[in-house]
A = this chain, B = another copy of it.
Amino acid sequence: MDAHALTDVTQGGGAPESAAPQPTYLEQLLAAGLLIETGVKGLYGRSAVFEAVADGLNAAITRLGADQQAEVLRFPPAMGQHDFETSEYLKSFPNLAGTIHSFCGDDRGHRRLLARLEDKEDWTDQQEPTGVVLTPAACYPIYPVVAKRGPLPEAGKVVDVLSYCYRHEPSLEPTRMQLFRQREYVCLGSPERIVAFRQLWMERGQALAESLQLPVEVDVANDPFFGRGGKIVADSQRELKLKFELLIPVNDGLGPTACMSFNYHMDHFGALWHIGLADGGTAHTGCVGFGIERLVLALLKHHGLDPARWPQPVRETLGDV
């Protein structure tokens, strides 16, 4: 695995040429046993220490949202293909989605599969789509669920979700995993409610990052829309200021990493799923998303690989990890 592809080409520039190359952040994480290699880029196991920090973050986010009267919903890391199609994810990010396929053959097909495996040939040609698609973002499964219940309450609604999400973007940046956890609060209601919700969480997100003693900036952003047409959509998203990100430097030699995002979907999901307001209009939606792995990686980067030695106020925010 060519982990050196990630090494900051500028770092150690002044060191003698005979010096061993500085390990990348990913290499440090693997060497410390915080992440565990699986042979696949962007797919790692997590140690007990890594998970304790992740749990501490989730608990801190729960405390921050205690006044939101949020409905807690938890989904497995996949959704039905029909709902996935309705979401229009395939319009914007076809390359990132993951569909689940299974072998549906008989004994004869099985013998063929095993023969191919034995000959080290591709055996996946008999795999058929199952109608289940990996969850691309933690909030996607909730829209059809809320829609089915009829019009929203007068004041709108907040949902608390957490899920492993899948994106097909193999990478050696530890902050770009193929499977990672997103914690979200999702707000459904009037445009005014969503705008106020997003403003509140931009402030809370920054306050959380400050209490974790992480250097942050918040900036307008865009999603990585696919293809040539994607640039136009991305420009429009930026112009309308629909997405802000909280950015933290994590990877050496690369720009800062989005560790939280604050999104206003306007009536995109409300219209697709016919989510109604109490007054009969179409619901607007927005969400705040916390990249759990990215926040853990930011903490490990800025405070060191041993959480027991982190500043006491940071440890307290995380419930004494």
Among A101-109, A242-250, A261-269, which stretch is in contact with chain B? Answer: A101-109
| Chain B contacts for A253, CB-based, 8 A | none
A28: interface (CB < 8 Å): no
CB proximity to B under 8 Å, residues A96-151: 96-107, 110, 113-114, 117, 122-124, 127, 129-132, 134, 141, 144-145, 148
- This chain's copy number in the assembly: 2
What 0/1 readout, one digit per residue, does chain A (72-101) give for beta carbons within 8 Å of chain B?
111111111111010000110011111111
Q: Which partner residue on chain B sits nearest A148 by CB separation?
A: B37
Taking the nearest CB of chain B, how far is it from the CB of A141, in angstroms?
6
| Chain B contacts for A285, CB-based, 8 A | none
Among A44-52, A199-207, A214-222, which stretch is in contact with chain B? Answer: A44-52
Q: How far is the CA of A200 from the CA of B117 in the complex (A)?
A: 38
Q: How far is the CA of A164 from the CA of B162 in the complex (A)?
A: 13
A168: interface (CB < 8 Å): yes
Q: Which partner residue on chain B sits nearest A227 by CB separation?
A: B107
A residues lining the B interface (CB < 8 Å): 36-40, 43-48, 50-51, 71-83, 85, 90-91, 94-107, 110, 113-114, 117, 122-124, 127, 129-132, 134, 141, 144-145, 148, 164, 166, 168, 177-180, 226-229
